[in-house]
Structure 1
Amino acid sequence: MSSGNLAVLNALDNAKTQWYHVTAIVIAGMGFFTDAYDLFCISTVSKLLGRLYYFDPSTGKPGKLPHTVNNFVIGVALVGTLSGQLVFGYLGDKLGRKKVYGMTLIMMVICAICSGLSFGYSNKSVMVTLCFFRFWLGFGIGGDYPLSATIMSEYANKKTRGAFIAAVFAMQGVGIIFAGLVSMTVSKFFLKLYEGPTFHDNPVFSTEPEADYVWRIVLMIGALPAALTFYWRMKMPETGRYTAIIEGNAKQAATDMASVLEIEIQAEHDKLAQFKAANDYSLFSQEFFQRHGRHLIGTATTWFLLDIAFYSQNLTQKDIFPVMGLTDGDTWVSALTEMFQTSRAMFVIALFGTFPGYWFTVLFIDKIGRFKIQLVGFFMMSVFMLTIGIKYDYLKDKEHKWTFATLYGLTFFFANFGPNSTTFVLPAELFPTRVRSTCHAISAASGKAGAMVGAFGIQYLTIDEDVKSIRKAMLLLAFTNMLGFCFTFLLTETKGRSLEEISGEDGRVDHQTKTVEKMPVSHPESAWD
């Protein structure tokens, strides 16, 4: 490490892992737990909404959300998330990470409660109200992406930084599990109240009388973890890197960090001025483009391509869930039974496919490195999706259900022990402090754009749900993953290096000439480490 770096930054990079690091992971991670719960619980109740608000007695069949309405109900939060990422990411760099960090939780708490209280004079007005609050819920969720990643990266030491950031993101897997678990529990509770044959014999009476309470309860429970975390989030001091580098107050940075971490820091006012002068360029400057343009293109494109595939993985659910006995398929069941089965399927997939991948990343990211994990993840996702696409007729037969389940589960596993985790980690490490939150937000927003392509575009291509269209979609997704594999080569490995060394903020290397800048160092040979 070059001594051209500030003492407060060196102290943070070399601090031993201690209790406050764990506390910061929990505080930031609970935001992601809430994010995942709020985004994914809507999938467990969407069919119930169709049963409740779009039932036509003349058909004698259970109600179903129209395709356009279903897209709005499920997708409007993604639009809000994209918007919130850009807005809060920018504010995080301009106003400070802490000043806007609490705003995201407040929005999530209020909008989760209001989503469950969506009322109206007609079925249409209920859906409009729900979509309105789901948009602003997504807006708050979007802010958590750049802020949580940036805060965790700026608190962490360089040896375990990847694991810390990945652990925050891994709480998304826990949130998905709880979305399925809570939906299962609530629907099962109300099912126990209505076990008579009436609701299992006649489609006209297929929706249990109190089912309207069920989806509201499930959505409002999402406010609890965010509310419980708010106090501790407000107690966190501003990150030392932001206070020192952006606000120019090395003394306050040293005081703040010493109050939560067992480290001794000296304030260096003269060196701070020199440090700031060497990094005084904006996001839209030519210098930024020369130094970091390739990396921003890399983080944005890989996250975009990853989310196209990640949010399209439910294409085969209509076949794999019945084959595995998780749902009854085309067999008619009551509304709450259908919700219970859908939630159970989500829970099982998350527990055995999604969840392990997140925590494998936490365990190995600082050993294997981000770059290799992302490459392997994209490649393996492509292989498994290609196999599913080519052999779809063969796999959907009950005799081959375990092969189908294994391929399906491994696709989720390598998404999370792969680019779904690393695309979150890398933008928090590659860019300089003054634009770190904004660059993460741009990358994350590109991901949500990809999610919308997957959730709407790819889904539209398979609207007929026939084998041929699903096969073509899986082959297209395999190609998308290989593009992600290729674009990963725009990025660089970040493990074991300080944030300032990675971004060039410490003045060690001029990224235009690749020569060492003339900044005073006490150990010149260290500049070539």
Structure 2
Amino acid sequence: MASYADKTSTSSAEEPVTMLAKAVGKPPSDKGYALDEKRRAALSEIDQAKFSWFHIKVCMVAGVGFFTDAYDIFAINIASVMLGYVYGPVNRNQPGNQSLTPNQDLGVKVATPVGTLVGQLLFGWLADVVGRKRMYGVELMLIIVATFGQAVSGQGHAVSIIGVLVVWRFIMGVGIGGDYPLSAVISSEFASTHIRGRMMTAVFANQGWGQFTAALVGFIIVAAYKDSLLHEDALVNAKVDQMWRILIGLGCVPGAIALYFRLTIPETPRFTMDVERNVKQATQDVENFLTTGSYYVDPDAVIERVQAPKASRRDFVAYFSQWQNLKLLIGTSYSWFALDIAFYGLGLNSSTILTAIGFGTPSAHLTGGNKIYENLKNITVGNMILSVAGLIPGYWATFLFVDRWGRKPIQLMGFIMLTILFCCMGFGYNRLTASDGGRKAFVFLYCLTNFFQNFGPNTTTFIVPGEAFPTRYRSTAHGISAASGKLGAIVAQVGFGKLVNIGGKNKFVNHLLEIFAFWMLTGIFSTLLIKETKQLTLEELSNENQEGFIESRPANASSSRA
């Protein structure tokens, strides 16, 4: 079959028999018609399948990657404070007050989003070219190696440890970036239509558990080193140096556990049919994983490639030159960009914001190891509160309603609520932070913003791009959308780092919150560009006619073996 671009023109090489068959409304060949029917029957089985152990396995295998991603990304929020005590410029007049310089702090925090942007574009494209299965696990290996590399990084005369960490965190970010499109399209393409939103949400919700676990592990480590910090002043730096390495290094563990299962997950039948164009193998895979939860590829089986729309530069341009398709990509990309400005602006700087409002700030009379212990304990406790009170409930609220209300209403509601909340926090900042009661109210509003980020656009911007595009471009389009989000994260982190201390230490926080409100307002309008995807099959959402989507190859076409 011709590619999408070729559908608008008549091929001069088309056989007279085929043209005659089309003229009288018959399929070009009985074999091609049978294969097309076989494809649609297999897709129908996937779309109507009951929830099974295989679906749970897909959620677990994909979800553990997001758990690892979030742990590794947000652990730096605590680890950067520890790094500051050990490697920050020494203030001999105020021991215990060391911190990384603004540029050092920016470097270790922004390196991961930059790497993630690269990984999302690269792995998103590769997953559509070489396959979901072939790339799944490669990105996790990058994460494991880079995380371990951070934990054993050292200081040297030629290069600082901060520089080494920036390099490792960039590499880790590339792996994390690959996880977004791969996990999204794999969970989407294996899911039944009626549970697809919940499956994808369950995968993404592990981000909340990863963020909470980073804070919890940090708290446990601080508690374990309490005696050393309080009573061994001469060894405080050495102990804190051990603490951040343990905190970062433990991020390897869940990834290592999940690696085997990622390497052995089957290829999605949609990719096998529509990109590899092997309908026979795909229908066999569907039957196997729906009945036994496993799959088998016969290495000696003869593969008959069918004709189907094939990805190419020309076809890509033709597909996205149609306004309804381009509009959707713009909507998913910009919505993610706007959301991540606030999501990462808050998430990577929660310790800074909590300190700025004086929430959990150590007593002024504390010095040395006592002050370090109190500060680290308060930061970890504050991050746990923010996770439990806002982040995690938001994901699971989306889980409950995403297949009932739909993706678009949840995203629209989330952006509206976030606009209101950021306005309240920004314009009311000085009044709220002037008293203990006001600070508690500010933390409550902070938790609400976390809740409506996840019961809102943070989850839906992940879901919609994994559903709304054809199989041959689904991962690429998701990668483009996700990379737009990480561009927003980079803008947020660079902007936060450069602006937060205008007028004095942390004096610009209120205006940053007002800026976040503006971006949430723009997200309301970009949401209007996306379409509702609930209870529709991926093929219905692809905006392509599925009647006669594939044809049999001509009789003289060669076959190959698996």
User: By the TM > 0.5 criterion, same fold?
Assistant: yes
More off after superposition, 339-348 vs 370-379 = 339-348
Match of 2:88 in 1: 54
| Residues in 2 aligned to 1:53 and 1:519: alpha-carbon distance in whole angstroms | 61
Match of 2:290 in 1: 261
Give the letter aligned to residue 529 of structure 2: L
Give the letter aligned to residue 246 of structure 1: V
CA positional deviation for 1:369: 0.3
Given candidates 240, 261, 265, the residue that maps to 1:236 is 265
Match of 1:289 in 2: 321
Given candidates 204, 219, 222, the residue that maps to 2:251 is 222
Change (3 A) 1:215 1:123: farther
Give the letter aligned to residue 475 of structure 1: E
Give the letter aligned to residue 267 of structure 2: E
* CA deviation profile, 1:47-69 (whole Å, cap 9, x unmatched): 11111112426444332211111
Aligned length: 501
Superposed, 1:80-479 pairs within 5 Å as 80-122=115-157, 124-196=159-231, 199=233, 207-262=236-291, 273=306, 276-277=308-309, 284-290=316-322, 291-313=324-346, 318=352, 320=354, 326-328=360-362, 332=367, 333-396=370-433, 397-464=435-502, 469-479=508-518
Contact 2:222 2:376 in 1 (8 A): yes
CA positional deviation for 1:325: 5.1
| Residues in 2 aligned to 1:56 and 1:458: alpha-carbon distance in whole angstroms | 24
Change (3 A) 1:123 1:327: farther
Contact 1:305 1:447 in 2 (8 A): yes
| Residues in 2 aligned to 1:461 and 1:84: alpha-carbon distance in whole angstroms | 28
Give the aligned CA root-mean-square deviation in angstroms: 2.9
| Residues in 1 aligned to 2:239 and 2:538: alpha-carbon distance in whole angstroms | 54
Match of 1:202 in 2: none
Change (3 A) 1:14 1:263: farther
More off after superposition, 308-317 vs 291-300 = 308-317
Change (3 A) 1:4 1:402: farther
| Residues in 1 aligned to 2:52 and 2:549: alpha-carbon distance in whole angstroms | 36
Give the letter aligned to residue 336 of structure 2: W
| Residues in 2 aligned to 1:436 and 1:25: alpha-carbon distance in whole angstroms | 19
Match of 2:32 in 1: none
| Residues in 2 aligned to 1:219 and 1:377: alpha-carbon distance in whole angstroms | 32
More off after superposition, 87-96 vs 392-401 = 392-401
More off after superposition, 428-437 vs 44-53 = 44-53
CA positional deviation for 1:187: 1.9
| Residues in 2 aligned to 1:409 and 1:485: alpha-carbon distance in whole angstroms | 21
Larger radius of gyration: 2
Given candidates 67, 76, 81, the residue that maps to 2:111 is 76
Contact 1:316 1:470 in 2 (8 A): no
Given candidates 12, 21, 45, the residue that maps to 2:55 is 21
CA positional deviation for 1:382: 0.3
Contact 1:321 1:345 in 2 (8 A): no
Change (3 A) 1:26 1:477: same
Change (3 A) 1:263 1:208: closer
Report the secondary structure of 1:366's partner residue.
Answer: coil
Change (3 A) 1:86 1:319: closer
| Residues in 1 aligned to 2:410 and 2:38: alpha-carbon distance in whole angstroms | 31
Unaligned runs of 5+ in 2: 1-35, 296-301, 552-562
Change (3 A) 1:95 1:461: same
| Residues in 1 aligned to 2:530 and 2:166: alpha-carbon distance in whole angstroms | 37
Change (3 A) 1:179 1:241: same
| Residues in 2 aligned to 1:17 and 1:391: alpha-carbon distance in whole angstroms | 47
| Residues in 1 aligned to 2:163 and 2:239: alpha-carbon distance in whole angstroms | 22
CA positional deviation for 1:368: 0.6
* CA deviation profile, 1:360-397 (whole Å, cap 9, x unmatched): 11111000100000000000000011111121112112
Contact 2:39 2:273 in 1 (8 A): no
Change (3 A) 1:492 1:305: same
Give the letter aligned to residue 248 of structure 1: R
Change (3 A) 1:458 1:292: same
Give the letter aligned to residue 238 of structure 1: E
| Residues in 2 aligned to 1:69 and 1:518: alpha-carbon distance in whole angstroms | 54
Change (3 A) 1:272 1:294: farther
| Residues in 1 aligned to 2:404 and 2:251: alpha-carbon distance in whole angstroms | 35
| Residues in 1 aligned to 2:258 and 2:162: alpha-carbon distance in whole angstroms | 30
CA positional deviation for 1:216: 0.8
Report the secondary structure of 1:431's partner residue.
Answer: coil
Give the letter aligned to residue 166 of structure 2: C
| Residues in 1 aligned to 2:363 and 2:456: alpha-carbon distance in whole angstroms | 31
| Residues in 2 aligned to 1:292 and 1:168: alpha-carbon distance in whole angstroms | 26
TM-score by length of 1: 0.88
Contact 2:422 2:516 in 1 (8 A): yes
| Residues in 2 aligned to 1:297 and 1:226: alpha-carbon distance in whole angstroms | 33
CA positional deviation for 1:153: 0.3
CA positional deviation for 1:318: 4.5
CA positional deviation for 1:213: 1.1
Change (3 A) 1:316 1:494: same
More off after superposition, 144-153 vs 470-479 = 470-479
Give the letter aligned to residue 62 of structure 2: A
Contact 1:15 1:263 in 2 (8 A): no
| Residues in 1 aligned to 2:399 and 2:496: alpha-carbon distance in whole angstroms | 31
Report the secondary structure of 2:230's partner residue.
Answer: coil
Superposed, 1:473-492 pairs within 5 Å as 473-492=512-531
| Residues in 2 aligned to 1:244 and 1:117: alpha-carbon distance in whole angstroms | 45
Contact 1:108 1:137 in 2 (8 A): yes
More off after superposition, 450-459 vs 163-172 = 450-459
* CA deviation profile, 1:248-286 (whole Å, cap 9, x unmatched): 111111222322223999xxx9x9946x24988856423
Identity of aligned residues (%): 37
| Residues in 2 aligned to 1:155 and 1:45: alpha-carbon distance in whole angstroms | 37
Give the letter aligned to residue 261 of structure 1: L
| Residues in 2 aligned to 1:286 and 1:329: alpha-carbon distance in whole angstroms | 64
Change (3 A) 1:242 1:424: same
Contact 1:356 1:413 in 2 (8 A): yes
TM-score by length of 2: 0.83
Contact 2:55 2:191 in 1 (8 A): yes
CA positional deviation for 1:82: 0.6
Change (3 A) 1:193 1:120: closer
* CA deviation profile, 1:202-255 (whole Å, cap 9, x unmatched): xxx593432211111111100110000011112211000000110011111122
Change (3 A) 1:490 1:319: closer
| Residues in 2 aligned to 1:503 and 1:176: alpha-carbon distance in whole angstroms | 34
Change (3 A) 1:180 1:207: same
